[in-house]
Amino acid sequence: MKARPIQDHRLVGVPFIESPNQNERPDAQDIQLVVIHAISLPPGQFETPGVTQLFTNTLDPNEHPYYREIEALRVSAHLLIQRSGAITQYVAFDRRAWHAGVSSWGGREVCNDFSIGIEVEGTEDQPFEPIQYDVLNQVLNALITEYPNLSRTTIAGHADIAPGRKWDPGPFFEWDRIGVGAIPTE
């Protein structure tokens, strides 16, 4: 599977909607991990503007009861892969997105400092779409090509870096479809 090109730390040909929820990494060259997340907003609904609104701090708390619970969150990810396979980028890869929260991987704390966060639109109780795996593999190939510290063994789920606190990408995510190797835990 071919890689999508990256230029200036952005995927070429992908809409870029800059999130204010980002900042400089302690070391812009220290990209060691890709974290796979799952999201749907409102919960269980797909292809809505909710994720973009969350990542741009524009959620309308009157639009859905769940939005009242999360409207104060200041979070982001580098990318979103929707059910259709469409990609949106919110944070350049050399910048720190706010996706991992309290986390650790391979003995290191604060995974936001050294990781790229990819949200795959989905829930814990439904399979993901085949096109999402195809697109995710293209993105992973591009990231592994562009950032020398990444490989198929430096990919983890949010649940792997924040066990007991996060569930995603969940039991329906088919790790074998992205060829993940051994994932270091603690």
Q: Which amino acids are annotated catalytic?
A: 119
- CA–CA distances in Å: residue 89 to residues 61, 157, 178: 24, 19, 20
- CA–CA distances in Å: residue 159 to residues 22, 45, 148, 163: 21, 21, 25, 5
DSSP letter assigned to residue 113: G
Distance CA(185)–CA(182), nearest Å, equals: 9
The answer to whether residues 22 and 95 touch, using CB atoms and an 8 Å cutoff, is yes
Sign of torsion, CA 107 29 37 61?
Answer: positive
For residue 13, the SS3 value is: coil
Closest to 93 measured CA to CA, from 39, 15, 24, 162 = 24
